[in-house]
Amino acid sequence: MILATPGPVEIPYFVRETYLRDTIHHRTPEFKEILLDTLNRFKNITKLPYNVFLSSSGTGAMEAAVINTVKNKALTVNAGKFGERWGKICKAHGIEFSEIKYDWDTPALVDDVIAAIKEDDSIDTFFIQISESAGGLRHPVEEIAAEIKLINPDIIVVADGITALGVEDLDTSNIDIVVGGSQKAFMLPPGLSMLGLSDAAVERIGSGRGFYFNLANEIKKQSEGTTAFTPATGLIIALNEVLKKLEDIGLERHYENTAKRHNAMLAAIEAIGLSIFPQNPARSMAAVYSEKAEEIRKILKNKYEINVAGGQDHMKGKLFRINNMGIIEDNKMAYILNSLELALEELGIRKYDATAVKIYSKEK
């Protein structure tokens, strides 16, 4: 079975085999060296001065960002299940928040965010996804962040980069916190989340809040090469190998490969008559709108052994989503797109003539 869901993504063999190594205790010079080296390499991904790992899924890191940074009121963008989550986290902790809501295919508008901030000067923290995976949508986070900082540099900008870190060469110069997750572009098993933080974010956090998710404790400990609690050593060791591999390829080249593959994949999908769902697609995936989404997914799974994701909530049965995160061989992507075209023929939607694979190969 090819796992072609936009997270968890397939774990390459060089990652899996790190688990065959001897077990290392986390309070040893050996692990300290690996942790510091991994944090240091991760700095090239976030381009932010402070980096910490949490032993949790990405949601844990989102919660850590919320509870540690909001002092008065949060402003959140909700254009999907993950944008909605910011508000749910605020609610769970009795944190006041305003939400700007969009359809799942619609990127946030800079003007809407600026208007909300100008209207309510109690807002001190802003939360958004870089890539909102519910609809495969890319928000113009860099522009929004820059405008926010022009108006009020004290507003802390938090960006969920769970399906953006390791996918794109991000400009985080106006972003204070960026959140990542192990099972996305880092091609690891789930269970590790990462945060990159600016000086302003660390200042805002002060002595931190919460216990397991107290970021002040973790930043202090991890800067010394240790962790507040037992870390997910297996995942950190494997992340170290992934970061080395991405550096071997060259980060710039890896980002370019991902972008080129994305463009070629979208072109192939549109060439066989399917529509890309979001107005501004994120590079992490192809989110395809189709009333036959479930039939297509079934054929892909049962006949071609390819697992692609469906839609969630009100988009259930109307979307399918193909992963574009991590290292994906061209032959694998070509096989996925060719199988998709064959599925369309089986459903009587379009006669198969190998257009998808032709376009993909030409554009890639």
**Interface residues toward a copy of itself, by CB under 8 A:** 1, 3, 5, 7-11, 13, 16-17, 19-20, 22-26, 28, 55-60, 63, 88-89, 92-93, 181, 183, 189-192, 209-214, 229-235, 307, 309
Nearer to a copy of itself, 230 or 280 (CB): 230
Give the bridge partners for 33, in sequence order: none
Nearer to a copy of itself, 68 or 198 (CB): 68
- Enumerate residues 6+ apart whose C-beta is below 8 A from 88: none
Helix (H) or strand (E) holding 100: strand 97-101
Give residue for tokens 């850590």.
64
Q: Which amino acid is at 233?
A: T
Answer whether 106's CB lies under 8 Å from 136's CB.
no
Minimum CB–partner distance for residue 152 and a copy of itself (Å): 27
What 3-state class would DSSP assign to 320? strand
Minimum CB–partner distance for residue 353 and a copy of itself (Å): 31
Minimum CB–partner distance for residue 212 and a copy of itself (Å): 5
Nearer to a copy of itself, 96 or 169 (CB): 96
Nearer to a copy of itself, 166 or 181 (CB): 181
Give the bridge partners for 181, in sequence order: 193
Minimum CB–partner distance for residue 229 and a copy of itself (Å): 4
Answer whether 31's CB lies under 8 Å from 25's CB.
yes
Sequence-separated contacts (24+) of 190-193 with Cβ below 8 Å: 190/8, 190/57, 191/55, 191/56, 191/57, 191/232, 191/235, 192/53, 192/54, 192/55, 192/56, 192/232, 192/235, 192/236, 192/239, 193/53, 193/54, 193/56, 193/57, 193/58, 193/59, 193/60, 193/61, 193/162
Minimum CB–partner distance for residue 334 and a copy of itself (Å): 20
Task: Compute the chain's Rg from CA coordinates.
Answer: 21
Whole-number Å distance between alpha carbons of 214 and 70? 13
What 3-state class would DSSP assign to 95? coil
Minimum CB–partner distance for residue 162 and a copy of itself (Å): 10
Nearer to a copy of itself, 47 or 209 (CB): 209
Phi, psi values for residue 195, rounded to 5° = -130, 135
321 marked as part of a ligand binding site: yes
Nearer to a copy of itself, 19 or 43 (CB): 19
Compute CA distances 274 → 104, 115, 157, 262, 266, whole Å. 18, 36, 36, 15, 9
Minimum CB–partner distance for residue 304 and a copy of itself (Å): 15
Nearer to a copy of itself, 332 or 362 (CB): 332
Annotated binding site for substrate: 321
